[in-house]
Structure 1
Amino acid sequence: MYQIFVNDKPIILTTKDKKPKGAKSYKLKTVLINRVIKKLNKTDLNAVYLTHKNESKLLDKFLKKLPNIIAGGGKVYNQHGEILFIFRNDRWDLPKGKAERKESIEETAIREVEEETGVKNLKITKPLDTTYHILKRNNRYKIKITHWFEMTTDYDGKLKPQTKEGITKVKWLNKKKMKKALKNSYANIKTLI
């Protein structure tokens, strides 16, 4: 099973033909994805289930329905066990961004965290789950595939939000502050925390 978020509502890819209350179910092979996105955005549907009989082909078949954007990001811990958050578009988020040519996804994740926050000396400790969400760019829907990595740093310098990317704050959050921030975050970020 996979979840692809449209804002905070999931499109769930599954082999089981489900139709829970407040959700709709469609066959992945024949679904018109733009209609599904519009229904999730403009109705009170909680979720959409897209079904296919072959579990190993679920994600590949779905990813062919829209252009893909590959990104990398980090869940960064400092020496106090706090996690690095950015504030963009009036919501708390983790630093991430689009991969550049000839760059490994690990290099992308480290570069994006540095650019968006000013934090240096980043070390990847392990890969985390990959998240998927649908966004609209230049009047077209696209699927952003973000490869996440847990990172650590000993950096204790000044945090610098990348304002040209719409980031207005960068903060280290302890468990208590993080719990509050997650109330104003995205569903895919909550799954990583």
Structure 2
Amino acid sequence: MIKIFINEHPLVISDDSEDLFRLKNLRLMDDDDKSLMRAVEMLENSDRQLANFGIFVPTVDEKDTFKRFKKYYKEIQAAGGVVLNDKGDVLLIMRQGKWDLPKGKKDDEEKLESAAVREVKEECGVKSIKLGDFITKSYHTYQLDGGRVLKTTHWFFMHIDHPEEFTPQQEENITQVQWFSISDLNLGQLDTYNSIRDVMHVALQK
């Protein structure tokens, strides 16, 4: 299953029909090129605040369908971290009025792991951090200079085992860096992006 968030709504490409019933409230569409473009336009023009709306594209070949989907986009590779400490807390940043995970664009020739660590250090003002295992990839789209962009973010666990004074990266519109207790965190109520909510759900189940 490949899930791409377009305007906060999921476009799901899957070769498993059971995913349609597990995810619920998804509109079924074909996987031909014309239908894919129609699905993209429907989600782009939908209300971002509309709950439980998305599109499910069944396919016999997820990679082929995703490849055809991507031809409409400029691709950007990014990396980020789900940062934990010994107390059972997860580190979140406040960016442009929403809670987010630290992440950013990978530089040319830079390894994903290095990019993830660099971005977390820069955005949170962290001096020392330990890189952990790979978690998952997330996909979301946005508009830039009149064109469509697909950002693939590669997520890694990270760990801070000592107290840190955080310095939010203001030039990236980050105003807060804060620990949240995992046991008290309600992902459904957290004011964040749906793609970030998905990543945290996957990470905190591991």
**TM over 0.5: same fold?**
yes
What is the DSSP-based 3-state SS (H/G/I as helix, E as strand, rest coil) of the residue aligned with 2:34?
coil
Is the Cα contact below 8 Å between 1:72 and 1:109 reproduced in 2?
yes
Q: Could you tell me how far apart the structure 2 residues matched to 1:117 and 1:42 are?
A: 34
- CA shift, 1:190, in A, is 1.5
- Higher mean displacement: 141-150 or 7-16: 7-16
The percent identity for this pair of structures is 30
Deviations 1:22-61 (A, max 9, x none): 624132433353x433322434681122343323433333
Q: Could you tell me how far apart the structure 1 residues matched to 2:90 and 2:189 are?
A: 12
- CA shift, 1:80, in A, is 1.7
Q: Could you tell me how far apart the structure 2 residues matched to 1:56 and 1:22 are?
A: 20
Is the Cα contact below 8 Å between 2:72 and 2:148 reproduced in 1?
no
Matched, 1:164 2:167: no
Match of 1:87 in 2: 94
Q: Could you tell me how far apart the structure 2 residues matched to 1:159 and 1:182 are?
A: 25
Pair 100,151 (structure 1): closer, same or farther in 2 beyond 3 Å:
same
Q: Could you tell me how far apart the structure 1 residues matched to 2:84 and 2:178 are?
A: 11
- CA shift, 1:125, in A, is 1.5
- Higher mean displacement: 107-116 or 148-157: 148-157
What is the DSSP-based 3-state SS (H/G/I as helix, E as strand, rest coil) of the residue aligned with 2:33?
coil
Match of 2:42 in 1: 39
Structure 2 segments unaligned to the other structure (5+ residues):
201-206
- CA shift, 1:177, in A, is 5.4
Question: RMSD of aligned C-alpha atoms?
Answer: 2.5
Instruction: Give the AA of the match of 1:66.
Output: Y
Query: How many pairs align?
Result: 192
Pair 181,21 (structure 1): closer, same or farther in 2 beyond 3 Å:
closer
Structure 1 segments unaligned to the other structure (5+ residues):
none
- CA shift, 1:68, in A, is 0.7
What is the DSSP-based 3-state SS (H/G/I as helix, E as strand, rest coil) of the residue aligned with 2:192?
coil
Match of 2:34 in 1: 30
Matched, 1:13 2:3: no
Among candidates 133, 139, 143, match of residue 132 of structure 1: 139
Instruction: Give the AA of the match of 1:99.
Output: K
Is the Cα contact below 8 Å between 1:29 and 1:52 reproduced in 2?
no
- CA shift, 1:10, in A, is 0.3
Matched, 1:65 2:72: yes
TM-score under structure 2 length normalisation: 0.82
Instruction: Give the AA of the match of 2:43.
Output: L
Matched, 1:111 2:143: no
Q: Could you tell me how far apart the structure 2 residues matched to 1:24 and 1:139 are?
A: 28
Pair 59,124 (structure 1): closer, same or farther in 2 beyond 3 Å:
farther
Instruction: Give the AA of the match of 1:30.
Output: K
TM-score under structure 1 length normalisation: 0.87
Matched, 1:179 2:186: yes
Match of 1:191 in 2: 198
Is the Cα contact below 8 Å between 1:85 and 1:92 reproduced in 2?
yes
Pair 16,179 (structure 1): closer, same or farther in 2 beyond 3 Å:
closer
Q: Could you tell me how far apart the structure 2 residues matched to 1:24 and 1:41 are?
A: 17
